Copies of this chain bind each other. A is one copy, B any other.
Amino acid sequence: MRIKILGSAAGGGFPQWNCNCGNCAGLRNGSIHAHARTQTQIAFTVDSKIWFLIGASPDLRTQILATPELTPNGNSATASPIGGIFLPSADTDSLMGLLHLREFQSFFVFATASLQKIVKKENRIFSVLDRADPPVQWQTLSARGRLGCHLSESPGEAPAFICATFPLGDTYPDYVSAELVRTMAPEEATIGFSFEHAGKSLLVAPSLCGRNSEWTKLAASSDVTLIDGTFWSDDELRRTGRSNKTARDIGHLPLSGTAGLLEQFPRNARGRHILIHINNTNPILDEDSPEHSAVLDAGFEIAYDGMDIEL
């Protein structure tokens, strides 16, 4: 399996368009040692030909153009190597990018039944994906399941990889109507993924709400874990003047503090563990900061745009 990190920041990216916090201003004026990041977007392939996306970031058009492996090939005018997209949630920063893919291309979208309801019942703009011939194909994921994924239609062939899903968060985005939320299972709000191929596994959990710990067992045994590095501290948005909400209020376990990610992450994890979905306010973005050193010392890597992982 080959994994490419096309984007590694949280919603809004780094810098954010309207943000003058220490990190954003410091990156712009060169006073801190940091690197710009687009919004979290992961891609992987198991055959070096067909690529799958995890999430659909608001920066997806730019991210595809920056990735030679995703350049259209062959003679057809619509010959993208992107075969499918796995959607973790209906959050704007993992859903909006579907609209970038509206140009006459058919592909598979894997999502829970609840996410599909949000798109189809309350957000008609996404039906621009039906313009492709054949239209985009939606495939239903359960919040807890194992799906064998095939790259060809040959009968009897073993799946090329397995997509295992598990519940990660129980809260739907605030733009979804209360009536619709009442009809949906909370466990389908945000799901994590474990992709398995040739005896190796990739765990993807970029948002940990802190109210379940199922991810810890998977994190201990995965070969690569891409995990929630959104906030350093619970009150980070308040201290940087961005919002009155805490990290936990908006569905992210902070890295530091009591029962934070650094404390909860399994000591015996055998694979690489890489922080992703890093918010513009997070002090780990400043590569000279003590927080940056602290996560490296704790055995984590920090994802960056263009990061290439062989598994």
Interface pair B123/A242, CB less than 8 Å apart = no
Per assembly, the copies of the chain total 2
Binding site of A, secondary structure by majority: helix, strand, loop or mixed?
loop
Within 8 A of B (CB), among A36-85: 36, 58-62, 64-65, 70-80, 82
At the interface, yes or no: A240 with Cβ under 8 Å from chain B?
Answer: yes
CA distance A175 to B126 in the complex (A): 8
Query: What number of A residues sit within 8 Å (CB to CB) of B?
Result: 59
**Chain B residue at minimum C-beta to C-beta distance from A63:** B17
Interface pair B77/A20, CB less than 8 Å apart = yes
Interface pair A175/B12, CB less than 8 Å apart = no
At the interface, yes or no: A94 with Cβ under 8 Å from chain B?
Answer: no
Most buried by B among A13, A20, A70: A20
CA distance A104 to B279 in the complex (A): 14
CA distance A125 to B93 in the complex (A): 11
Least CB distance from A127 to B in Å reads 5
- Supply 15 further A-B pairs (C-beta < 8 A) apart from A17-B60, A17-B80, A20-B75: A12-B61, A12-B102, A17-B103, A18-B82, A19-B78, A20-B73, A20-B74, A36-B65, A62-B62, A95-B125, A96-B96, A122-B123, A122-B125, A123-B124, A126-B175
